Amino acid sequence: MLASLDHALRSTLPALLTDRSKWDSLIVNRRKPHTYRVFTTLEDGNRICLHKFNPCDTHEAFSHPHPWPGAFIVMKGAYRMKVGFSKDREDEQPQPVAEFVLREHAAYEITNPLTWHSVVPLTTTYTIMINGAPFGPEVAHKSVRRTGGKDLDKMPENELMDHLFIFSNLVALYNMKWQ
């Protein structure tokens, strides 16, 4: 997944960020951290999400597994991440494994459906996530809250355009630094 993320950063995203018609949005504000997500599906079937996280306290952060493999990069800001592992998909309390503080351009992937994490933004933080196809229904965690089907609000058009502009600049700066 990290290779897919790197390819998107270098090749796909610069042009894609200039085409508003390709993007949709959600405001995830029924749990913390509050998240402003702009997303699209790439030609290879992967989904890419541009996140803005508002800061929150450690005890407020939502610990969760992902139903698909994914790779993540911090584009601006920083967050504390706790990582855990559950013994199976029925387990609601993952065993703590590690804790990190991730800063600008730190990247990682989650490729095991039993891996959990929580994100605690230390400041307003911008990240990019790319995810593949779901692992399958047999590995879905039954107790985990999902954003799908929750009638979440979309970002107003001006905020969505600002979001794309910010990420266009962040991707350009990243590519200048790492080429």
- Note whether 121 and 105 are within 8 A (CB): no
Instruction: Enumerate domains of the chain plus CATH numbers.
Output: 2-178 (2.60.120.10)
Percent of the chain with pLDDT over 90: 74
Q: What is the end-to-end Cα distance of the chain in Å, rounded?
A: 20
From first to last of its 179 residues, the chain has per-residue pLDDT tens of 999 999 999 999 999 999 999 999 999 988 889 999 999 999 999 999 999 999 999 889 888 888 899 999 999 999 999 999 988 877 778 899 999 999 999 999 999 999 999 999 999 999 999 999 988 765 554 555 455 545 789 999 999 999 999 999 999 999 999 87
Query: What pLDDT is attached to residue 142?
Result: 52
Query: What pLDDT is attached to residue 178?
Result: 86
Query: What pLDDT is attached to residue 92?
Result: 73
Q: 75 φ, ψ to 5°?
A: -95, -30
The Cβ of residue 40 has, within 10 Å, a number of other Cβ atoms equal to: 18
Whole-number Å distance between alpha carbons of 92 and 114: 11
Q: Could you identify the residue written with the tokens 């698909």? A: 68
